[in-house]
Protein backbone atom coordinates (compact mmCIF):
# COMPACT_ATOMS: atom_id res chain seq x y z
CA UNK A 1 0.00 0.00 0.00
CA UNK A 2 1.30 3.45 -0.90
CA UNK A 3 1.99 6.34 1.46
CA UNK A 4 0.42 9.78 1.53
CA UNK A 5 2.48 12.86 2.40
CA UNK A 6 0.98 15.73 4.38
CA UNK A 7 2.80 19.09 4.38
CA UNK A 8 2.14 22.40 6.09
CA UNK A 9 4.40 25.47 6.06
CA UNK A 10 5.31 28.19 8.51
CA UNK A 11 6.85 31.08 6.61
CA UNK A 12 8.80 33.90 8.26
CA UNK A 13 8.77 37.10 6.22
CA UNK A 14 10.88 40.09 7.27
CA UNK A 15 8.87 43.26 6.83
CA UNK A 16 10.34 46.20 4.94
CA UNK A 17 10.20 48.80 7.68
CA UNK A 18 12.84 51.42 8.43
CA UNK A 19 12.84 50.69 12.16
CA UNK A 20 12.26 47.66 14.34
CA UNK A 21 8.97 46.32 15.64
CA UNK A 22 9.25 47.81 19.13
CA UNK A 23 12.15 50.27 18.96
CA UNK A 24 13.52 53.06 16.75
CA UNK A 25 16.65 51.03 15.87
CA UNK A 26 17.41 50.69 12.18
CA UNK A 27 16.64 47.44 10.35
CA UNK A 28 19.51 48.08 7.95
CA UNK A 29 21.71 45.05 7.27
CA UNK A 30 25.47 44.87 6.78
CA UNK A 31 26.37 47.29 9.59
CA UNK A 32 28.85 46.55 12.36
CA UNK A 33 27.52 43.94 14.83
CA UNK A 34 25.40 45.44 17.62
CA UNK A 35 25.47 48.93 16.07
CA UNK A 36 21.72 48.81 15.41
CA UNK A 37 20.62 47.62 18.85
CA UNK A 38 18.98 49.99 21.33
CA UNK A 39 18.42 49.58 25.05
CA UNK A 40 15.02 48.08 24.22
CA UNK A 41 16.59 45.51 21.87
CA UNK A 42 19.16 44.71 24.57
CA UNK A 43 16.31 44.15 27.07
CA UNK A 44 17.61 46.65 29.61
CA UNK A 45 15.43 46.90 32.74
CA UNK A 46 12.95 49.76 32.71
CA UNK A 47 12.66 50.05 28.94
CA UNK A 48 9.26 49.81 27.30
CA UNK A 49 8.38 48.78 23.74
CA UNK A 50 6.34 50.93 21.33
CA UNK A 51 4.67 49.17 18.38
CA UNK A 52 5.76 50.15 14.86
CA UNK A 53 2.51 51.15 13.11
CA UNK A 54 3.94 50.51 9.62
CA UNK A 55 4.62 46.87 10.51
CA UNK A 56 0.96 46.50 11.45
CA UNK A 57 -0.12 48.09 8.17
CA UNK A 58 2.20 45.74 6.22
CA UNK A 59 0.63 42.72 7.93
CA UNK A 60 -2.85 44.00 7.07
CA UNK A 61 -1.81 44.48 3.44
CA UNK A 62 -0.81 40.81 3.32
CA UNK A 63 -4.10 39.76 4.89
CA UNK A 64 -6.09 41.76 2.35
CA UNK A 65 -4.06 40.26 -0.53
CA UNK A 66 -5.10 36.72 0.45
CA UNK A 67 -8.68 37.71 1.26
CA UNK A 68 -8.16 36.92 4.93
CA UNK A 69 -9.96 38.06 8.03
CA UNK A 70 -8.26 41.11 9.56
CA UNK A 71 -8.20 41.21 13.33
CA UNK A 72 -9.79 44.47 14.43
CA UNK A 73 -8.21 43.65 17.79
CA UNK A 74 -4.96 41.72 18.11
CA UNK A 75 -2.78 41.04 21.12
CA UNK A 76 0.98 40.62 21.60
CA UNK A 77 2.09 37.80 23.88
CA UNK A 78 5.33 36.59 25.38
CA UNK A 79 6.70 33.25 24.19
CA UNK A 80 9.18 32.19 26.86
CA UNK A 81 12.34 30.31 25.99
CA UNK A 82 16.09 30.71 26.36
CA UNK A 83 18.42 31.40 23.46
CA UNK A 84 21.78 33.18 23.73
CA UNK A 85 20.67 35.67 21.04
CA UNK A 86 17.37 36.43 22.78
CA UNK A 87 18.41 38.59 25.77
CA UNK A 88 14.85 39.14 27.03
CA UNK A 89 14.33 35.42 27.56
CA UNK A 90 11.09 35.62 25.60
CA UNK A 91 9.95 36.51 22.11
CA UNK A 92 7.15 39.05 21.70
CA UNK A 93 4.72 37.45 19.28
CA UNK A 94 1.01 36.73 18.79
CA UNK A 95 -0.87 33.50 19.46
CA UNK A 96 -4.52 33.71 20.49
CA UNK A 97 -5.49 36.91 18.68
CA UNK A 98 -3.28 37.39 15.58
CA UNK A 99 -3.50 40.36 13.24
CA UNK A 100 -4.44 38.19 10.19
CA UNK A 101 -6.93 35.33 10.37
CA UNK A 102 -7.92 32.60 7.92
CA UNK A 103 -7.34 33.17 4.20
CA UNK A 104 -6.49 31.25 1.06
CA UNK A 105 -3.75 31.18 -1.58
CA UNK A 106 -4.56 29.86 -5.07
CA UNK A 107 -1.91 27.91 -6.98
CA UNK A 108 -1.55 26.80 -10.57
CA UNK A 109 0.63 23.70 -10.76
CA UNK A 110 2.96 22.67 -13.55
CA UNK A 111 0.51 20.05 -14.88
CA UNK A 112 -2.13 22.77 -15.28
CA UNK A 113 -4.24 21.79 -12.26
CA UNK A 114 -5.27 24.38 -9.69
CA UNK A 115 -5.04 24.03 -5.93
CA UNK A 116 -6.17 26.10 -2.97
CA UNK A 117 -3.97 26.23 0.14
CA UNK A 118 -5.70 27.51 3.24
CA UNK A 119 -3.92 29.97 5.51
CA UNK A 120 -4.66 29.30 9.18
CA UNK A 121 -3.43 32.74 10.25
CA UNK A 122 -0.50 35.16 10.02
CA UNK A 123 0.87 36.89 13.10
CA UNK A 124 3.35 39.63 13.86
CA UNK A 125 6.46 38.88 15.88
CA UNK A 126 10.01 40.09 16.46
CA UNK A 127 13.08 38.30 15.17
CA UNK A 128 15.89 37.18 17.48
CA UNK A 129 19.55 38.15 17.20
CA UNK A 130 22.21 36.10 15.50
CA UNK A 131 24.88 33.81 16.92
CA UNK A 132 28.21 34.14 15.13
CA UNK A 133 30.16 30.91 15.36
CA UNK A 134 33.09 31.95 13.19
CA UNK A 135 35.90 34.52 13.46
CA UNK A 136 35.89 34.57 17.27
CA UNK A 137 38.46 33.02 19.59
CA UNK A 138 39.96 33.68 23.01
CA UNK A 139 43.62 34.41 23.73
CA UNK A 140 44.43 30.67 23.58
CA UNK A 141 42.88 30.33 20.15
CA UNK A 142 39.86 28.43 21.48
CA UNK A 143 36.76 28.99 19.32
CA UNK A 144 34.07 31.27 20.78
CA UNK A 145 30.59 32.36 19.76
CA UNK A 146 29.72 36.04 19.34
CA UNK A 147 26.24 37.56 19.53
CA UNK A 148 25.00 40.18 17.06
CA UNK A 149 21.73 41.82 18.12
CA UNK A 150 21.30 43.97 14.99
CA UNK A 151 18.54 41.63 13.84
CA UNK A 152 16.90 41.42 17.31
CA UNK A 153 13.48 43.05 17.18
CA UNK A 154 13.24 43.13 13.37
CA UNK A 155 9.55 42.83 12.41
CA UNK A 156 8.34 39.56 10.91
CA UNK A 157 5.03 38.10 9.91
CA UNK A 158 4.80 34.36 10.37
CA UNK A 159 2.38 32.86 7.86
CA UNK A 160 0.98 29.50 8.98
CA UNK A 161 -0.67 27.28 6.38
CA UNK A 162 -3.05 24.39 6.88
CA UNK A 163 -1.54 20.97 6.00
CA UNK A 164 -3.01 21.11 2.48
CA UNK A 165 0.05 20.15 0.40
CA UNK A 166 0.84 16.58 -0.55
CA UNK A 167 4.26 16.73 -2.17
CA UNK A 168 7.40 18.84 -2.46
CA UNK A 169 6.35 20.39 -5.78
CA UNK A 170 3.12 21.76 -4.27
CA UNK A 171 5.02 23.13 -1.28
CA UNK A 172 7.49 24.92 -3.55
CA UNK A 173 4.66 26.32 -5.69
CA UNK A 174 3.02 27.64 -2.51
CA UNK A 175 6.27 29.19 -1.29
CA UNK A 176 6.87 30.84 -4.67
CA UNK A 177 3.36 32.27 -4.66
CA UNK A 178 3.83 33.75 -1.19
CA UNK A 179 7.12 35.26 -2.35
CA UNK A 180 5.36 36.81 -5.35
CA UNK A 181 2.62 38.23 -3.12
CA UNK A 182 4.84 39.85 -0.47
CA UNK A 183 7.25 41.32 -3.03
CA UNK A 184 4.37 42.62 -5.17
CA UNK A 185 2.91 44.28 -2.09
CA UNK A 186 6.30 45.82 -1.32
CA UNK A 187 6.06 44.68 2.30
CA UNK A 188 9.28 42.62 2.02
CA UNK A 189 12.22 42.30 -0.36
CA UNK A 190 11.88 38.51 -0.02
CA UNK A 191 15.67 38.15 -0.15
CA UNK A 192 16.15 34.55 0.94
CA UNK A 193 19.96 34.77 0.75
CA UNK A 194 19.78 37.23 3.67
CA UNK A 195 17.21 35.17 5.58
CA UNK A 196 14.50 37.76 4.91
CA UNK A 197 12.12 34.98 3.89
CA UNK A 198 12.60 31.50 5.31
CA UNK A 199 10.51 28.38 5.59
CA UNK A 200 9.78 25.82 8.31
CA UNK A 201 8.24 22.69 6.78
CA UNK A 202 6.01 20.35 8.81
CA UNK A 203 5.93 16.88 7.28
CA UNK A 204 4.15 13.63 8.11
CA UNK A 205 3.24 10.50 6.19
CA UNK A 206 0.33 8.08 6.56
CA UNK A 207 -1.45 5.26 4.82
CA UNK A 208 -4.52 6.42 2.81
CA UNK A 209 -7.54 6.76 5.08
CA UNK A 210 -5.51 6.71 8.30
CA UNK A 211 -5.29 9.63 10.80
CA UNK A 212 -2.47 12.14 10.45
CA UNK A 213 0.95 10.72 11.28
CA UNK A 214 3.51 12.21 13.66
CA UNK A 215 5.04 15.30 12.08
CA UNK A 216 8.54 16.67 12.12
CA UNK A 217 9.56 20.25 11.42
CA UNK A 218 12.54 21.05 9.19
CA UNK A 219 13.53 24.62 10.01
CA UNK A 220 15.02 27.69 8.37
CA UNK A 221 15.08 26.62 4.72
CA UNK A 222 16.10 29.63 2.67
CA UNK A 223 15.82 28.53 -0.95
CA UNK A 224 13.14 26.86 -3.03
CA UNK A 225 15.63 24.27 -4.26
CA UNK A 226 16.75 23.32 -0.75
CA UNK A 227 13.14 23.17 0.41
CA UNK A 228 12.23 20.70 -2.33
CA UNK A 229 15.24 18.51 -1.55
CA UNK A 230 14.68 18.66 2.21
CA UNK A 231 11.04 17.58 1.88
CA UNK A 232 11.86 14.63 -0.36
CA UNK A 233 14.64 13.57 2.00
CA UNK A 234 12.41 13.72 5.07
CA UNK A 235 9.51 11.90 3.39
CA UNK A 236 11.86 9.07 2.41
CA UNK A 237 13.27 8.95 5.95
CA UNK A 238 9.87 8.73 7.60
CA UNK A 239 8.66 6.01 5.22
CA UNK A 240 11.86 3.99 5.86
CA UNK A 241 11.38 4.32 9.65
CA UNK A 242 7.75 3.18 9.49
CA UNK A 243 8.36 0.33 7.05
CA UNK A 244 11.18 -0.91 9.32
CA UNK A 245 8.67 -1.12 12.20
CA UNK A 246 9.84 2.06 13.96
CA UNK A 247 8.03 5.22 15.05
CA UNK A 248 8.52 8.76 13.82
CA UNK A 249 9.53 11.05 16.69
CA UNK A 250 8.06 14.56 16.86
CA UNK A 251 11.13 16.74 16.55
CA UNK A 252 12.71 19.76 14.92
CA UNK A 253 15.26 18.94 12.21
CA UNK A 254 18.02 20.89 10.50
CA UNK A 255 18.81 20.46 6.79
CA UNK A 256 22.27 20.88 5.26
CA UNK A 257 21.92 21.90 1.61
CA UNK A 258 25.59 21.31 0.80
CA UNK A 259 25.49 17.65 1.79
CA UNK A 260 21.75 17.05 1.27
CA UNK A 261 21.52 15.60 4.77
CA UNK A 262 19.44 16.42 7.83
CA UNK A 263 19.75 15.78 11.54
CA UNK A 264 17.56 16.03 14.61
CA UNK A 265 17.93 19.42 16.31
CA UNK A 266 15.66 19.12 19.34
CA UNK A 267 12.39 17.53 20.42
CA UNK A 268 9.41 19.53 19.20
CA UNK A 269 7.81 21.69 21.86
CA UNK A 270 4.09 22.31 22.24
CA UNK A 271 2.58 25.74 22.91
CA UNK A 272 2.26 24.89 26.61
CA UNK A 273 6.03 24.49 26.87
CA UNK A 274 6.48 28.15 25.96
CA UNK A 275 4.17 29.45 28.72
CA UNK A 276 2.56 32.08 26.51
CA UNK A 277 0.90 34.99 28.28
CA UNK A 278 -0.24 38.47 27.11
CA UNK A 279 2.61 41.00 27.12
CA UNK A 280 1.90 43.40 30.02
CA UNK A 281 3.96 46.16 28.33
CA UNK A 282 1.82 46.38 25.19
CA UNK A 283 -1.80 47.36 24.78
CA UNK A 284 -4.02 45.42 22.36
CA UNK A 285 -3.71 46.67 18.76
CA UNK A 286 -6.98 48.15 17.49
CA UNK A 287 -7.53 48.65 13.76
CA UNK A 288 -10.40 50.74 12.41
CA UNK A 289 -12.62 49.88 9.46
CA UNK A 290 -11.51 53.12 7.80
CA UNK A 291 -7.84 52.18 7.92
CA UNK A 292 -8.52 48.72 6.49
CA UNK A 293 -10.54 50.24 3.63
CA UNK A 294 -7.79 52.77 2.97
CA UNK A 295 -5.19 49.98 2.72
CA UNK A 296 -7.48 47.83 0.55
CA UNK A 297 -8.03 50.69 -1.91
CA UNK A 298 -4.27 51.27 -2.20
CA UNK A 299 -3.26 47.64 -2.91
CA UNK A 300 -0.97 47.33 -5.96
CA UNK A 301 -1.42 44.85 -8.79
CA UNK A 302 -1.13 41.35 -7.31
CA UNK A 303 0.32 38.23 -8.99
CA UNK A 304 -3.02 36.72 -10.09
CA UNK A 305 -4.15 40.00 -11.66
CA UNK A 306 -0.76 40.45 -13.31
CA UNK A 307 -0.92 36.91 -14.68
CA UNK A 308 -4.36 37.53 -16.21
CA UNK A 309 -3.05 40.73 -17.78
CA UNK A 310 -0.02 38.92 -19.25
CA UNK A 311 -2.27 36.25 -20.79
CA UNK A 312 -4.52 38.88 -22.35
CA UNK A 313 -1.99 41.56 -23.31
CA UNK A 314 0.89 39.34 -24.44
CA UNK A 315 -1.01 36.22 -25.60
CA UNK A 316 1.05 34.00 -23.27
CA UNK A 317 -0.09 30.62 -21.99
CA UNK A 318 -1.35 30.55 -18.41
CA UNK A 319 1.64 28.46 -17.36
CA UNK A 320 4.18 30.84 -18.94
CA UNK A 321 2.40 33.81 -17.37
CA UNK A 322 2.40 32.06 -13.97
CA UNK A 323 6.16 31.51 -14.15
CA UNK A 324 6.88 35.09 -15.18
CA UNK A 325 4.65 36.47 -12.42
CA UNK A 326 6.21 34.29 -9.74
CA UNK A 327 8.52 37.17 -8.93
CA UNK A 328 7.85 40.90 -9.29
CA UNK A 329 11.37 41.61 -10.52
CA UNK A 330 11.11 38.88 -13.17
CA UNK A 331 7.73 40.20 -14.32
CA UNK A 332 9.10 43.74 -14.62
CA UNK A 333 12.19 42.48 -16.46
CA UNK A 334 10.03 40.53 -18.93
CA UNK A 335 7.76 43.49 -19.64
CA UNK A 336 10.69 45.81 -20.30
CA UNK A 337 12.40 43.28 -22.63
CA UNK A 338 9.13 42.51 -24.45
CA UNK A 339 8.38 46.19 -25.06
CA UNK A 340 11.89 46.95 -26.30
CA UNK A 341 12.16 43.78 -28.40
CA UNK A 342 8.67 43.99 -29.86
CA UNK A 343 7.98 40.26 -29.43
CA UNK A 344 6.48 39.10 -26.12
CA UNK A 345 6.64 35.38 -26.86
CA UNK A 346 10.31 35.57 -27.83
CA UNK A 347 11.05 37.66 -24.73
CA UNK A 348 9.22 35.13 -22.53
CA UNK A 349 11.21 32.26 -24.05
CA UNK A 350 14.51 34.04 -23.44
CA UNK A 351 13.63 35.01 -19.86
CA UNK A 352 12.37 31.53 -18.92
CA UNK A 353 15.10 29.77 -20.90
CA UNK A 354 18.58 31.16 -21.37
CA UNK A 355 18.38 33.91 -18.76
CA UNK A 356 16.94 31.73 -15.99
CA UNK A 357 19.46 28.98 -16.70
CA UNK A 358 22.35 31.44 -16.41
CA UNK A 359 20.96 32.99 -13.22
CA UNK A 360 20.57 29.54 -11.65
CA UNK A 361 24.05 28.48 -12.74
CA UNK A 362 25.59 31.59 -11.15
CA UNK A 363 23.20 31.41 -8.15
CA UNK A 364 22.14 35.05 -8.46
CA UNK A 365 18.79 36.82 -8.65
CA UNK A 366 17.45 38.67 -11.66
CA UNK A 367 18.33 42.00 -10.03
CA UNK A 368 22.00 41.01 -10.32
CA UNK A 369 21.70 39.88 -13.95
CA UNK A 370 24.66 41.19 -16.02
CA UNK A 371 22.29 41.35 -19.01
CA UNK A 372 19.76 44.13 -18.49
CA UNK A 373 16.17 43.95 -19.76
CA UNK A 374 17.05 46.68 -22.25
CA UNK A 375 19.95 44.67 -23.64
CA UNK A 376 17.82 41.53 -23.94
CA UNK A 377 15.19 43.63 -25.74
CA UNK A 378 17.90 44.89 -28.11
CA UNK A 379 19.02 41.30 -28.76
CA UNK A 380 15.44 40.31 -29.59
CA UNK A 381 15.20 43.25 -32.00
CA UNK A 382 18.25 41.97 -33.88
CA UNK A 383 16.77 38.48 -34.13
CA UNK A 384 13.48 39.93 -35.37
CA UNK A 385 15.02 42.18 -38.03
CA UNK A 386 17.27 39.39 -39.32
CA UNK A 387 20.57 40.94 -38.26
CA UNK A 388 21.53 37.74 -36.41
CA UNK A 389 20.29 34.16 -36.31
CA UNK A 390 18.98 32.51 -33.13
CA UNK A 391 22.20 30.53 -32.92
CA UNK A 392 24.38 33.63 -33.12
CA UNK A 393 22.03 35.33 -30.62
CA UNK A 394 23.19 32.90 -27.93
CA UNK A 395 26.78 33.81 -28.69
CA UNK A 396 25.91 37.51 -28.38
CA UNK A 397 24.04 36.83 -25.12
CA UNK A 398 27.11 35.07 -23.69
CA UNK A 399 29.32 38.03 -24.58
CA UNK A 400 26.78 40.45 -23.10
CA UNK A 401 26.68 38.33 -19.92
CA UNK A 402 30.49 38.56 -19.77
CA UNK A 403 30.24 42.35 -19.86
CA UNK A 404 31.61 42.86 -23.37
CA UNK A 405 29.06 45.55 -24.23
CA UNK A 406 25.56 45.92 -25.64
CA UNK A 407 24.27 43.46 -28.26
CA UNK A 408 24.75 46.00 -31.07
CA UNK A 409 28.33 46.69 -29.97
CA UNK A 410 29.12 42.97 -29.76
CA UNK A 411 27.55 42.18 -33.16
CA UNK A 412 29.57 44.96 -34.75
CA UNK A 413 32.89 44.28 -33.02
CA UNK A 414 32.77 40.51 -33.61
CA UNK A 415 31.41 40.72 -37.15
CA UNK A 416 28.38 38.56 -36.32
CA UNK A 417 25.86 40.02 -38.72
CA UNK A 418 23.84 37.37 -40.49
CA UNK A 419 24.78 36.59 -44.10
CA UNK A 420 21.76 37.39 -46.23
CA UNK A 421 23.42 38.12 -49.59
CA UNK A 422 21.81 35.66 -52.00
CA UNK A 423 24.75 35.57 -54.38
CA UNK A 424 27.23 34.88 -51.60
CA UNK A 425 25.07 32.14 -50.09
CA UNK A 426 24.44 30.60 -53.51
CA UNK A 427 28.18 30.21 -54.10
CA UNK A 428 28.61 28.47 -50.74
CA UNK A 429 25.71 26.10 -51.48
CA UNK A 430 27.13 25.26 -54.92
CA UNK A 431 30.53 24.42 -53.40
CA UNK A 432 29.00 22.16 -50.76
CA UNK A 433 26.92 20.26 -53.32
CA UNK A 434 29.93 19.87 -55.58
CA UNK A 435 32.15 18.61 -52.73
CA UNK A 436 29.69 15.98 -51.40
CA UNK A 437 28.49 13.90 -54.38
CA UNK A 438 27.78 10.79 -52.26
CA UNK A 439 25.43 12.73 -49.97
CA UNK A 440 23.76 14.32 -52.99
CA UNK A 441 23.17 10.90 -54.54
CA UNK A 442 21.81 9.58 -51.24
CA UNK A 443 19.48 12.59 -51.04
CA UNK A 444 18.15 12.04 -54.54
CA UNK A 445 17.54 8.35 -53.81
CA UNK A 446 15.37 9.10 -50.77
CA UNK A 447 11.64 9.73 -50.51
CA UNK A 448 10.27 13.13 -49.52
CA UNK A 449 10.05 12.29 -45.79
CA UNK A 450 13.69 11.24 -45.61
CA UNK A 451 14.85 14.17 -47.74
CA UNK A 452 13.63 16.59 -45.05
CA UNK A 453 16.05 14.97 -42.62
CA UNK A 454 18.92 14.54 -45.03
CA UNK A 455 18.93 18.21 -46.01
CA UNK A 456 20.11 18.88 -42.48
CA UNK A 457 23.58 17.62 -43.46
CA UNK A 458 23.91 20.33 -46.13
CA UNK A 459 22.55 23.00 -43.76
CA UNK A 460 25.14 21.96 -41.19
CA UNK A 461 27.96 22.19 -43.73
CA UNK A 462 26.79 25.65 -44.83
CA UNK A 463 26.58 26.87 -41.25
CA UNK A 464 30.06 25.49 -40.59
CA UNK A 465 31.38 27.30 -43.65
CA UNK A 466 29.78 30.59 -42.57
CA UNK A 467 30.57 30.18 -38.85
CA UNK A 468 26.84 30.06 -38.12
CA UNK A 469 26.12 33.40 -39.78
CA UNK A 470 24.09 32.20 -42.79
CA UNK A 471 20.42 33.19 -42.83
CA UNK A 472 18.78 29.80 -42.11
CA UNK A 473 15.61 30.54 -44.02
CA UNK A 474 17.43 31.68 -47.13
CA UNK A 475 19.83 28.77 -46.85
CA UNK A 476 17.02 26.21 -46.74
CA UNK A 477 15.32 27.74 -49.76
CA UNK A 478 18.54 27.74 -51.80
CA UNK A 479 19.41 24.16 -50.88
CA UNK A 480 15.97 22.90 -51.82
CA UNK A 481 16.13 24.75 -55.14
CA UNK A 482 19.58 23.41 -55.96
CA UNK A 483 19.03 19.83 -54.81
CA UNK A 484 15.54 19.42 -56.21
CA UNK A 485 16.05 21.47 -59.34
Sequence ranges of the chain with CATH classification 1.10.10.410: 422-484
Say if residue 80's pLDDT is above 90.
Answer: yes
pLDDT, one tens digit per residue, over 302-326 is 999 999 999 999 999 888 898 899 8
Q: 93 forms bridges with which residues in the sheet?
A: 77
- Averaged pLDDT for residues 85-105: 95
For 422-484, the fitting CATH number among 3.40.50.300, 3.40.50.2000, 1.10.10.410, 1.10.10.10 is 1.10.10.410
Q: Is the dihedral of CA 52, 58, 61, 67 positive or negative?
A: negative
Say if residue 328's pLDDT is above 70.
Answer: yes
Question: 223 near 257, Cβ under 8 Å?
Answer: yes
Q: 419 forms bridges with which residues in the sheet?
A: 470
Q: How far is it, in rounded angstroms, from Cα 336 to Cα 377?
A: 7
- Averaged pLDDT for residues 84-98: 94
DSSP-assigned states of every residue in 259-292: TTEEEEEEEPPPGGGGT-EE-TTSPPEE--HHHH
Return the pLDDT at 268. 62
Residues 6+ apart with CB under 8 A from 256: 262, 263
pLDDT, one tens digit per residue, over 456-482 is 898 888 888 888 888 888 888 888 888
Say if residue 53's pLDDT is above 70.
Answer: yes
Torsion angle of alpha carbons 95, 264, 193, 402, nearest 10°?
A: -160
Say if residue 134's pLDDT is above 80.
Answer: no
Helix (H, G, I), strand (E, B) or coil at 222: coil
Amino acid sequence: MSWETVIGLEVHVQLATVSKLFSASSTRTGDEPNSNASLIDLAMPGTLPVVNREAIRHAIRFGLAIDAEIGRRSVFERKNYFYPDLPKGYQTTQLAEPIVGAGVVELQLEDGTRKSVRIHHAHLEEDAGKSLHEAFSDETGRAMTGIDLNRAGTPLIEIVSEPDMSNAEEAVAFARKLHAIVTSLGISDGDMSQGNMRFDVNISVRRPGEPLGTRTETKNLNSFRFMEKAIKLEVERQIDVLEDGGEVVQETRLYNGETNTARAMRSKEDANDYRYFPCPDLLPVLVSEEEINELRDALPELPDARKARFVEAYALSEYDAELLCADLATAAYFEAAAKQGGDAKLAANWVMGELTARLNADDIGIAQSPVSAEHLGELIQRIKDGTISSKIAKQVFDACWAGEGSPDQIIESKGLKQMSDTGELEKIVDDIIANHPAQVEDYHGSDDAKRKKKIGFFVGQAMKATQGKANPQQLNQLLQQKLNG
